[in-house]
C-alpha cells in the first residue's frame, strides 16, 4: 500500500534555531500534502496544505513565515520551523493522498516529535 | 464552522462486548466522514469511510444526517482493537482537508 515517510522521527533543538522536517511519498506521487500539528491529548490540527510547484495554503492562525513549507517535487514536502521556541514543541504529522484531489483516503506519516529547549 | 465532536476521551470494554465510539459533526454542506485508527506506536491509518459502506475489521459506521452522527460500532470487541480512534470530516468539493475530532482511546480488556 501507499506509504508516507517522515523524517526525522524526533528532534531536539535549541531555542532560536531552525528545524526541517521531511515528508516523502515512497511509492506514489502526491501533488498535495498536508501538515498537521498535534498537542498532547489534543486532536490533529491542520496547519497548511502543501501544493507541488506552488505556494502552500496556510490555515488561519498559522504563521507562514514561521512554518515554511516547500513542495518541490511530487514526492517530497518539507516543513521548516524557523527560529523555534519552546511553544513550538509539538508532534508534527504529514499526510498525502495517493489518488488525487477529491479522493481520499489520506496516508499519514509516522510523525515528528519536536522538542525545543 | 466545521466541527467534529467525540464526547468520550476514554472507553473501556471487555473482550467480546459490543463497542460504540460516538462521533457527531457540525457542517452545513454535504459531509464526507471517516474513521481513522492509531494503534500503539503506529501511524494514523484509515479505518473506514462512510461512502464506502464497508465493514473493516468488524467495524461499521453509518452516517445519520438527521442526528449529524457517524458512530463507530463493533458487535464483539477484540483486544487488538485497543487503539486511539479519530473521527474526521472532509468538506464538500473534494477537499482532502480533514477536520479531526479529539479522539477516543479504546481499551479492550481480556
How confident is the model over B42-101, as pLDDT tens digits? 888 889 888 777 788 999 999 999 999 999 999 999 999 999 999 999 875 545 678 899
**Other CB atoms closer than 10 Å to residue A32's CB: what's the count?**
20
In the sheet that A67-73 helps form, which strands lie side by side, from edge to edge? A4-7, A19-25, A76-81, A67-73
ω before A8 within 30° of 0 (cis)? yes
Cα–Cα dist B35/B43, whole Å = 14
First to last CA, chain B: 41
What is the distance in angstroms between the Cα of B38 and the nearest Cα belonging to chain A? 10
pLDDT tens for each residue of B6-40: 999 999 999 999 999 999 999 888 888 999 999 98
Q: Which residues, in sequence order, are CB contacts of A94 under 8 Å at separation 6+? A: A4, A6, A21, A23, A33, A34, A35, A36, A50, A77, A79, A108, A109
Res A30: pLDDT: 84
Chain A residues within 8 A of B95 when measuring between CB atoms: 102
What is the distance in angstroms between the Cα of A59 and the nearest Cα belonging to chain B? 10
pLDDT tens for each residue of A100-112: 555 556 789 999 9
Closest CB from A34, A42, A109 relative to B97:
A34
Output the nine-digit C-alpha cell for A50: 502543501
Q: Are A42 and B102 a contacting pair at CB < 8 A? A: yes
Q: Which residues, in sequence order, are CB contacts of A115 under 8 Å at separation 6+? A: A10, A11, A12, A13, A89
Q: How many CB pairs under 8 A join A and B?
A: 54
- In three-state form (DSSP H/G/I as H, E/B as E, the rest C), the secondary structure along chain B is CCEEECCCCEEEEECCCCEEECCEEECCCCCEEEEEEECCCCCCEEEEEHHHCCCECCEEECCECCCCECCEEECCCCHHHCEEEEEEEECCCCCCCEEECCCEEEEEEC
Closest CB from A43, A102, A104 relative to B100:
A43
pLDDT tens for each residue of A7-18: 999 999 999 999
Chain B residues within 8 A of A110 when measuring between CB atoms: 42-43
Cα–Cα dist B85/B73, whole Å = 12
Q: Are A109 and B43 a contacting pair at CB < 8 A? A: yes
Amino acid at each position: 500500500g501507499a506509504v508516507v515517510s517522515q523524517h526525522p522521527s524526533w528532534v531536539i533543538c535549541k531555542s532560536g534555531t531552525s528545524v526541517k522536517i521531511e515528508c516523502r511519498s515512497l511509492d506514489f506521487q502526491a501533488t498535495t500534502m498536508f501538515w498537521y500539528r498535534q498537542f498532547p491529548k489534543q486532536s490533529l490540527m491542520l496547519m497548511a496544505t502543501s501544493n507541488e510547484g506552488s505556494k502552500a495554503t496556510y490555515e488561519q492562525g498559522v504563521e507562514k513565515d514561521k512554518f515554511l513549507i516547500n513542495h518541490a517535487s511530487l514526492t517530497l514536502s518539507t516543513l521548516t520551523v524557523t527560529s523555534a521556541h519552546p511553544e513550538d514543541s509539538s508532534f508534527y504529522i504529514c499526510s498525502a493522498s495517493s489518488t488525487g484531489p477529491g479522493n481520499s483516503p489520506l496516508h499519514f506519516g509516522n510523525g515528528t516529535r519536536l522538542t525545543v529547549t | 464552522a466545521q466541527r467534529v465532536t467525540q464526547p468520550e476521551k476514554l472507553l473501556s470494554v471487555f473482550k467480546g462486548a459490543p463497542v460504540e465510539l460516538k462521533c457527531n459533526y457540525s457542517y452545513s454542506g454535504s459531509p464526507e466522514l471517516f474513521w481513522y485508527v492509531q494503534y500503539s506506536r503506529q501511524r494514523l491509518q484509515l479505518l473506514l469511510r462512510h461512502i464506502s459502506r464497508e465493514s473493516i475489521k468488524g467495524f461499521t459506521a453509518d452516517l445519520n444526517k438527521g442526528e449529524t452522527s457517524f458512530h463507530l460500532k463493533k458487535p464483539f470487541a477484540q483486544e487488538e482493537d485497543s487503539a486511539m480512534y479519530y473521527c474526521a470530516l472532509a468538506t464538500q468539493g473534494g477537499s482532502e482537508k480533514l477536520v479531526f475530532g479529539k479522539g477516543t482511546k479504546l481499551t479492550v480488556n481480556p
